[in-house]
Amino acid sequence: MIARPDVFPGARAAASFNLFKQHSPLIHCLTNEVVQALTANVLLALGASPAMVVEPEEAAQFSRIANGLLVNIGTLTAARGQSMLAAIDAANQAGTPWVLDPVAVGGLHYRSEFAQRLLALRPAAIRGNASEILALGGVQGGGRGVDSTADSLTALTAARQLAQTSGAIVAVTGAVDYVTNGVADWAIPGGDILMTRVVGTGCSLSAVAAAFCALPGERLDHVATACRVMSLCGERASTQAQGPGSFTPAFLDALYQLNAEAL
């Protein structure tokens, strides 16, 4: 049994959020087919700039220009895998931080092998649910597609180890999110069950994490702030929503209206 981490303080989230608003990061998103529009709209609502550039040659060129890169393997194909590898290589050369979202890793062999290969390429952060983080860390999980059947606290030990071995900040998200650098960690409560009934809220969080990784300063705090921004706006949207349909417009509005004081 591990100790439950402290709740991430609002003052730290506010400081990180102010920095985000000053920088308006440009984020290169290599993400899955299903969530592209929501991912772009979440970044735009927060004042960041998304761009999806996918042919390997220009994906590599663009990762040098962008402030951050997201790699999400939800609808991995051999061709898109080549674009991801080209973009990551260029990002690493240019010092552009990149974030890995290992969607549904564990049960599916093809993506699991690819994710292990990516893990060696020094992601700045990794964001997944408990099943995904357990699987990526080599622990047998119980994922059923993209849904997690494990609790995020259960996965925190695996997350700490993964952070230590990979050098990445690791975020395990669920009813409560945990963010760790392998030594220190934060708990981020909030959100709403309705967020699990809308496709792409987790994938979008990974894009937001990539945008926060583009900021100077303490990356553990920045990734925790990405989680807090999404969980707070999720909570606010849920109070106004009659279901997952009205949740999404309310969520994007909440992201757009968010200011540091609210954090």
Which residues make up each annotated binding site for substrate? 52, 200
Residue in 108, 121, 260, 262 binding a copy of itself, rule: CB under 8 A: 108
Site for a copy of itself in 61-80 (CB under 8 A): 61-62, 65-66, 74-79
The conformation of residue 77, written as its DSSP 8-state character, comes to -
Tell me the closest approach of the beta carbon of residue 15 to a copy of itself, in angstroms.
24
Compute the distance between CA of residue 174 and CA of residue 36 in angstroms, rounded to an integer.
Answer: 21
Structure tokens at 30: 């290599």
Give me the 75-104 binding string for a copy of itself, x by CB under 8 A, dash otherwise: xxxxx------------------------x
CA distance 191 to 6: 17
The packing angle between helices 36-45 and 201-213, to 10°, is 50
Q: How many residues line the site for a copy of itself (CB under 8 A)?
A: 62
Nearer to a copy of itself, 6 or 58 (CB): 58
Beta-carbon neighbour count of residue 254 at 10 Å?
22
CB closer to a copy of itself out of 4 and 144: 144
Q: Which is nearer to a copy of itself, 31 or 180 (CB)?
A: 31
Residue 44 sits in the site that holds a copy of itself (CB under 8 A):
yes
Q: How far apart are CA 115 and CA 74, in angstroms?
A: 11
Binder of a copy of itself out of 6, 21, 55, 93 (CB under 8 A): 55
Distance CA 169, CA 79 (A): 28
User: How long, in residues, is the chain?
Assistant: 263
Nearest 5°: phi and psi at 82? -65, -40
**Binding track over 187-216 against a copy of itself, x by CB under 8 A:** ---------xxxxx----------------
* Element spanning 163, H or E: helix 156-166
Position among 16, 41, 173, 206 found at the interface with a copy of itself (CB under 8 A): 41
Q: How far is the CB of 221 from a copy of itself (least distance, A)?
A: 26
Burial environment of residue 217 by CB neighbours within 10 A (0 to 12, 13 to 18, 19 or more): exposed
| 79, two tokens | 């061709």
Give residues in contact with a copy of itself (CB under 8 A). Answer: 26, 32-38, 40-41, 44-45, 49-55, 57-58, 61-62, 65-66, 74-79, 104, 107-111, 144-147, 196-200, 241-246, 248-257
